[in-house]
């Protein structure tokens, strides 16, 4: 067996859903109640450097440490994730030399992760972060692993992270343990996503709490879950045909239906800001003028616009006065990549 400590770095990109995951099945960790379809965003990334070491006898049982954008994180948030990593390692090397010394239980992780976009953008950084974390943790301990296994593990950290493992266009089905790639990032070279950051404030309610409140209190939740598969199917067809208008229209339906379930929760969940709505109305106006621009939103006030290469810059300019940091124009990006720490 190789010796510890070992350090590995990984880079992953956020996964922007065009058909949304909103709601968890009960009794399982981050298992989606709705199928989602997403685009991996190449322009922004989370970079993670992970060191794995073997605890010596008498060490504290939980020594994992995570520093995110320079800020030390509460280890309790990462405990289920690292416990899942240790479990996978134990399952994969039950008879290592030295007995329990090499099994997952004795390992602990020290992680530094940084987003290369302003944290102010308040994007789905957890998806990129946990995809990079899962890839580096498995590679550092078990060597190269299939993406399906990385995706399963990333899902424990954050549901949407299972999609960020793959580049291009992805699907994650209701009840599925991992995401899959639909098409690689080369599938639709003309597609662009323009991210419009309207606030740098931390979100008032985590997506986990918001999803659970929606499931437990919104009278619209069952209707949303029942309707989501056909919308996800339409979204996949739009991507298969590279039909921008159809993709834009289905993406709008998906996020607005998702928010409708939240507005009806008790107490209601409202992530939007006046600037978000101003952009939504502004895009309506641009569409009336014939521009191919459709928005989507997630558990926060930022607006992301689906468009093509010819119109991306105009969208970024149009709403400049409403933004807290410059618009980010993104192409479809690659999946997680892993390297040794010296590659960085
Ligand atoms: O995976 P989480 O807990 O970050 O939840 C993601 C939820 C949405 O971003 C709103 C939708 C999605 O499918 O990414």
Mutation test of ligand 1: which of 156, 207, 231 has the most ligand atoms closer than 8 Å to its C-beta? 207
Counting Cα atoms < 13 Å in the Cβ hemisphere of 134 gives: 37
For ligand 1, atom 6, name the residue with the nearest CA. Answer: 160
Percentage with pLDDT > 70 across the chain:
92
Provide the token pair at 10: 């990984």
Mutation test of ligand 1: which of 178, 298, 302, 303 has the most ligand atoms closer than 8 Å to its C-beta? 298
Distance 204 CA to ligand 1 centre (A): 15
Contact present, 162 and 179 (Cβ < 8 Å): yes
Top mean-pLDDT range of 109-118, 122-131, 267-276: 267-276
Q: Which CATH class is domain 6-185+335-343?
A: alpha beta
Distance 309 CA to ligand 1 centre (A): 26
Alpha-carbon 329 to chain mean position: 18
Q: What pLDDT is recorded for position 122?
A: 61
- Check whether 343 has a pLDDT greater than 60: no
Quick one: average pLDDT of 83-97? Answer: 82
Quick one: average pLDDT of 335-343? Answer: 78
Q: What pLDDT is recorded for position 344?
A: 45
For ligand 1, atom 8, name the residue with the nearest CA. Answer: 298
Q: What is the ipTM of this complex?
A: 0.99
Looking at ligand 1, which atom is closest to the CA of residue 158? 1
What does the domain layout of the chain look like in residue ranges?
6-185+335-343, 191-330
Provide the token pair at 211: 């999803």
Backbone phi and psi for residue 250, each to the nearest 5 degrees, phi listed first: -70, -35
Distance 151 CA to ligand 1 centre (A): 15
Q: Per-residue confidence at 342, pLDDT binned at 50, 70, 90?
A: low
Distance 299 CA to ligand 1 centre (A): 7
Q: What pLDDT is recorded for position 116?
A: 85
- Check whether 265 has a pLDDT greater than 70: yes
Distance 97 CA to ligand 1 centre (A): 41
- Check whether 129 has a pLDDT greater than 70: yes
Quick one: average pLDDT of 134-157? Answer: 97
Same fold across 6-185+335-343 and 191-330: no
- Check whether 174 has a pLDDT greater than 50: yes
Q: Per-residue confidence at 119, pLDDT binned at 50, 70, 90?
A: low
Mutation test of ligand 1: which of 13, 16, 20 has the most ligand atoms closer than 8 Å to its C-beta? 20
Give per-residue pLDDT as tens, 183-220.
999 999 999 999 999 998 888 899 999 999 999 999 99
Whole-structure pTM value: 0.95
Domain 191-330: CATH superfamily is GHMP kinase, C-terminal domain (3.30.70.890)
Mutation test of ligand 1: which of 13, 22, 295 has the most ligand atoms closer than 8 Å to its C-beta? 22
Q: 322: which residues sit within 8 A by CB, 6+ positions away?
A: 196, 198, 275, 278, 279
Give per-residue pLDDT as tens, 217-253.
999 999 999 999 999 999 999 999 999 999 999 999 9
Provide the token pair at 30: 């981050």
Mean pLDDT score of the chain: 93
Nearest one of 22, 20, 19 to 214, comparing CA atoms: 22
Give the per-residue SS3 of the chain: CCCCCEEEEEEECCEEEEECCCCECCCCCCCECCCEEEEEECCCCEEEEEEEEECCCCCCCCCCEEEECCEECCHHHHHHHHHHHHHHHHHHCCCCCCHHHCCHHHEEEEEEEEECCCHHHCCCHHHHHHHHHHHHHHHHHHCCCCHHHHHHHHHHHCCCHHHHCCCCEEEECCCCCCCEEEECCCCCCCEEEEEECCCCCCCCCCHHHHHHHHHHHCCCHHHHHHHHHHHHHHHHHHHHCCCHHHHHHHHHHHHHHHHHHHHCCCCCCCCCCHHHHHHHHHHHHHHHCCCCCEEEECCCCCEEEEEECCCHHHHHHHCHHHCCCCCEEECECCCCEEEEHHHC
Q: Which residues sit with their C-beta closer than 6 Å to ligand 1?
A: 17, 20-22, 36, 124, 126-127, 158-160, 207-208, 298-299
Q: What pLDDT is recorded for position 293?
A: 99
Give per-residue pLDDT as tens, 299-326.
999 999 999 999 999 999 999 999 999 9
């Amino acid at each position: 067996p190789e010796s510890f400590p070992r350090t590995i770095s990984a880079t992953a990109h956020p996964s922007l859903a065009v058909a949304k995951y909103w709601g968890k099945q009960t009794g399982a960790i981050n298992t989606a109640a709705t199928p989602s379809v997403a685009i991996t965003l190449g322009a922004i990334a989370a970079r993670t450097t992970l060191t794995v070491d073997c605890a010596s006898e008498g060490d504290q049982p939980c020594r994992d440490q995570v520093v995110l954008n320079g800020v030390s994180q509460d280890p309790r948030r990462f405990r289920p994730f690292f416990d899942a990593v240790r479990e996978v390692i134990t399952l994969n090397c039950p008879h290592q030399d030295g007995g329990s010394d090499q099994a997952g239980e004795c390992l602990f992780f020290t992680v530094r992760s940084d987003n290369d976009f302003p944290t102010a953008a308040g994007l789905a950084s957890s998806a990129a972060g946990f995809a990079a974390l899962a890839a580096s943790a498995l590679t550092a301990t078990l060597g190269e692993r299939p993406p399906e296994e990385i995706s399963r593990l990333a899902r424990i950290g954050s549901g949407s992270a299972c999609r960020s493992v793959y580049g291009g266009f992805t699907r994650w089905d209701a009840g599925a343990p991992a995401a899959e790639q639909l098409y690689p990032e080369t599938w639709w070279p003309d597609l662009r996503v323009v991210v419009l950051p309207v606030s740098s404030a931390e979100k008032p309610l985590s997506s986990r709490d918001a999803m659970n409140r929606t499931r437990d209190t919104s009278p619209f939740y069952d209707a949303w879950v029942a309707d989501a598969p056909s919308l996800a199917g339409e979204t996949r067809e739009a991507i298969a045909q590279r039909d921008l208008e159809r993709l834009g229209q289905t993406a709008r339906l998906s996020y607005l239906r998702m928010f409708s379930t939240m507005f009806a929760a008790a107490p209601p969940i409202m992530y939007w800001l006046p600037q978000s709505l101003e952009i939504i109305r502004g895009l309506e106006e641009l569409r009336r003028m014939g521009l191919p621009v459709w928005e989507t939103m997630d558990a926060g006030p930022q607006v992301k616009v689906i468009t093509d290469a010819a119109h991306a810059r105009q969208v970024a300019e149009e709403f400049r006065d409403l933004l807290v940091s410059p618009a980010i124009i993104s192409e479809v990006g690659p999946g997680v990549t892993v390297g040794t720490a010296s590659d960085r």
